[in-house]
Amino acid sequence: MVRLIPAPVHLLHDSLLVEGEASGDRLARACLDAGLPPLPAASDGDGTMAGAILAAHDKGPGGEELRLGFDALASHDITYVGIVQTARASGLDRFPLPYVLTNCHNSLCAVGGTINEDDHLFGLSAARRYGGIFVPPHLAVIHQYMRERHASCGAMILGSDSHTRYGALGTMGVGEGGPELVKQLLGKTWDLKRPSVVLVWLTGAPRPGVGPQDVALALIAATFKNGFVNNKVLEVSGPGVSSLSVDYRLGIDVMTTETTCLSSVWKTDAAVSGWLSMHGRPDAYRPLRPAPVARYDGAVVVDLSAVRPMIALPFHPSNACAIEEFNANAADMLRQVEKESEKAMEAPGVRMDLVSKLEDGKLRADQGVIAGCAGGTFENISIAARLIAGKSLGHGAFGLSVYPSSQPVLLELARNGEAAALMAAGAVLRSAFCGPCFGAGDVPAHQGLSLRHTTRNFPNREGSRPADGQAASVALMDARSIAATALNGGILTPATDMEWPEPASYSFDASPYDHRVYAGFGKPEPSYPLRFGPNIADWPPMAALTRNLVLEIVSAIRDAVTTTDELIPSGETSSYRSNPLRLAEFTLSRKDPGYVGRAKAVRAQEEARREKKPASMLGELSRATGLSLTGEDTGIGSAVFALRPGDGSAREQAASCQKVLGGWANVAVEYATKRYRSNLVNWGMLPFQCSAEDASRLAVGSRLVVPGIREAVERGRTEIEARLVAPDGKVSPMTLRLPLSGTERPIILAGSLINFYKG
């Protein structure tokens, strides 16, 4: 089904794979033997589509250090207020490129009274003042709108959401934290080393009943845990591409985020041309395909015909297997999830009870949801509607909710009668909303199991609160199998057990956008007043990096991977995203409820130092280490240690909330994603790394004394000698790694991106 090739491969004429490093003579012979045209003379570049797109967007001098500018930006209503506020504080006067502000994350969440709609009105006023594009609530989820209105072949789009993926339309989408969008708004660049490119080679065609989520879960299961494509670009080609509709390709592509890849791009063809033309943008198409000779750093070969309906059990999309395999081993697999839940829930006495859901060996789920950028596309819903039409979903506990990804999709479902068919069968049809994906919609009952065609199933991401004794979970499946399960009263049923209809044909109508979206790019109104609600607050002052630094470890997490959801919970807490201090109260609240109190205690020491009052910690550590640590030259901050933090969401709040609580660093063996590490840097937090052996020595209450840290950053040193003071007072040396780029060092020295731009 999925085969990994962990060595270089060459793709010749987009049809022949040659594994391993190969000379020009060997490649030429391979072409001749396969009856392919002769290879052209050697040319510059690696021949990949990704390489060509990156080169076209590089504003630097070339080489391995890229300085990229994007064609458009996108944010939703958890992130855009902070981005605009940061950009304002840094000198913003207008949006220099199309910036789309969507409202799909907090449009149904009622927590906090008026604060969600206050933020929406702030977004509209910002679009008018600075010349942006504002998509009102319920019209579209962020990624569907960008697909329909802004993605184009060969373009690059930067979004403050991790699932910014438009590769199936030939656009390289990148999800990053808000400060990276701020840089683009201020005319700066997105900087990184040239990424590796991995070929995803598709063969065959999916069998009826196998959907895009099934293919995506198979890909994620094969690549996530081994880090095979971590921070690399996926380039999708192969004869299997032509067997997939564009909606199908989009459904696979958006899920590539869960492999932890950096971005993605697919070859384009007549199907993409037709899709863009139907959406009123024929000029957005151009053919993309690899050069006659393209070199990749590895490959993933996927036989689409071998993919079966899949299920990803809690608590990660990579925890996936074929439904038929699960059904044959259900009790054992569920017991394993229950065991993992004891650690994932991080609440004494709270664990999942899943084995009791087995009835005659078959799993009965409690809920089904088809939603968002992954599940809510037209074809997924149309096929589900055609299967369900004329039938009943029954009177039991299992219910089905369907969220079309945009108002144009819903409009077509209404016109062709499929919306009515879903409703008549007992499904609940809702507006475009991302809530089921991040815990702000359709929260299951205690001990409930929800089957969802959405993007993630991390612990508590469905909205339960373990601290209140609640436990619920999500398994990911394709819309087709969810519909089949719904017709079977919630008994887990693979879609291939039923006869499957083809989707209806789709006709895009832009009227909902034409009549409601504020399209102000290029038309700023500098005198238009920003509208502030009472919850919208400015960022607190942040200090520049001091000569020396003392860090107290206030949370130590030893899970294999720590998600951003665990660092700052998603769901209703995100309603406070425009008030940095208020949101910070939720930091690590599910993973480590004692973190906030410990961080505040350390922050009090730093506040005393800044007020030139005695900081008892400095005197104590001076005596223990023999170093001269004074309030004039030694900052005091907290730090979080985690083995591999940062998988998941691009939300900058995972870092900024630590910052406003006095955080000055993270210590990790490895960072799970570039975007989380970028968030740390942009908020002036040192992204230290240490060896696995040294990691075992770090505990809550440990203190790291880092003398000469400012000079070390100024000089670009990558190894920092520190002193570790254990909770029992024992002192020992410790080496920290700090690989910072030339553009990152000034931000760290200034104490944050805001300080850096203020000068």
Concatenated DSSP letters of 314-375: TT-TTSEEEHHHHHHSHHHHHHHHHHHHHHHH-STT-----GGGEETTEEB-SEEEE-HHHH
Backbone φ, ψ for residue 438 (5° rounding): -130, 15
Q: What is the pLDDT of residue 469?
A: 85
> If you average pLDDT over residues 96-116, what whole number do you get?
85
**pLDDT at position 564, please?**
87
Q: Which pLDDT belongs to residue 653?
A: 87
Question: Which pair of structure tokens corresponds to residue 351?
Answer: 């664990």
The DSSP-derived string for 521-560 is TT---TTSPP---TT--PPPP-PPPPSEEEEEEEEEE-SS
Contacts of 381 (CB under 8 A, 6+ apart): 370, 402, 404, 409, 413, 418, 422, 479
pLDDT band at 759 (very low <50, low <70, confident <90, very high): low
Structure confidence at residue 127 (pLDDT): 98
Model confidence band, residue 109 (pLDDT cutoffs 50, 70, 90):
low
Beta-carbon count within 10 A of 306 CB: 14
Q: Which amino acid is at 24?
A: G
Count of other CB atoms within 10 angstroms of residue 692: 9
pLDDT grade for 44, boundaries at 50, 70 and 90: low
**Which residue shows structure tokens 């063996």?**
669
- Helices 616-625 and 595-610 meet at what angle, rounded to 10? 90
**262, 127 contact by CB (below 8 A):** no
pLDDT band at 579 (very low <50, low <70, confident <90, very high): confident
- Residue 535: predicted pLDDT: 83
The amino acid at 414: A
* Token pair belonging to 742: 């030339």
640 has pLDDT over 90: yes
pLDDT-wise least confident of 110-119, 249-258, 678-687, 749-758? 110-119
Q: Quick one: pLDDT at residue 347?
A: 66
- Give 573 or 603, the one with higher predicted confidence: 603
Across the chain, mean pLDDT equals 92
* pLDDT band at residue 437 under the 50/70/90 scheme: confident
pLDDT exceeds cutoff 80 at 111: no
- Residue 117's nearest CA partner among 107, 105, 127 is 107
Q: Per residue in 418-435, pLDDT tens?
A: 999 999 999 999 999 888
More confident residue, 614 or 664: 664
Where are the alpha helices (H) located in 175-269, listed in sequence order?
178-185, 212-223, 246-254
User: Token pair of 342, please?
Assistant: 């004891």
Residue with tokens 């398994």: 475
Q: Which residue has the higher pLDDT, 650 or 1?
A: 1
Quick one: pLDDT band at residue 115, thresholds 50, 70, 90? confident
CA distances from 488 to 388, 394, 492, 509 (A): 11, 9, 8, 35
Calpha distance 594→615 (Å, rounded): 22
d(CA 259, CA 681): 23
pLDDT of residue 57: 97
Name the residue with higher pLDDT: 349 or 373. Answer: 373
Domain regions of the chain by residue span: 2-64+192-306, 352-505, 548-758
Q: Which residues make Cβ contacts (< 8 Å) with residue 697, sequence separation at least 6? A: 724, 726, 732, 734
Which class is domain 548-758?
alpha beta
Architecture of domain 2-64+192-306: 3-Layer(aba) Sandwich (3.40)
How far is Cα 9 from Cα 473, in angstroms, rounded to an integer? 40
For the ranges 29-43, 196-210, 458-472, the maximum mean pLDDT occurs at 196-210
Options 3.50.50.60, 3.90.1150.10, 3.40.50.11600, 3.30.499.10; CATH of 352-505: 3.30.499.10
pLDDT of residue 459: 83
- How far apart CA 147 and CA 149 sit, in angstroms, is 6
Phi, psi of 531 (to 5 degrees): -100, 115
In which band, very low, low, confident or very high, does the pLDDT at 589 lie, cut at 50, 70 and 90?
confident
Beta 367-370 vs 399-402: how paired, if at all? Answer: parallel
Instruction: Say what percent of the chain tops pLDDT 70.
Output: 98
In this predicted structure, the answer to whether residue 500 has a pLDDT above a threshold of 90 is no
> Where is pLDDT greater, at 60 or 213?
213
Element holding 226 (H helix, E strand): none
- Angstrom distances, CA of residue 470 to CA of 397, 456, 466, 575, 599: 18, 19, 5, 21, 26
d(CA 539, CA 541): 7
Q: Which residues contact 372 (CB under 8 A, 6 or more apart)?
A: 141, 403, 405, 433, 434, 436, 437, 454, 455
Taking residues 533-545, report their average pLDDT.
Answer: 87
Does residue 54 contact residue 194 with C-beta atoms inside 8 Å? yes
Distance from C-alpha of 597 to C-alpha of 602, rounded to nearest angstrom: 9
- The pLDDT of residue 566: 87
Whether residue 697 is predicted with pLDDT greater than 80 in this model: the reply is yes
SS3 content of the chain, % helix, strand, coil (to 5): 35, 20, 45
pLDDT tens, position by position, 179-218: 999 999 999 999 999 999 999 999 999 999 999 999 999 9
3-state secondary structure of 704: strand
CA dist., res. 470 & res. 466, Å (int): 5
Residue 520's pLDDT is 96
pLDDT above 90: percentage of residues in the chain = 74
| 359-413 pLDDT tens trace | 998 999 999 999 999 999 999 999 999 999 999 998 888 999 999 999 999 999 9
Nearest Cα residue to 477 out of 325, 356, 374: 374
Mean pLDDT of 67-96: 93
Cα angle value 388/394/397 (rounded, 5°): 120
**Range of weakest confidence among 15-29, 282-296, 726-740:** 15-29
pLDDT band at 498 (very low <50, low <70, confident <90, very high): confident
Residue 732 has pLDDT above 90, yes or no: yes
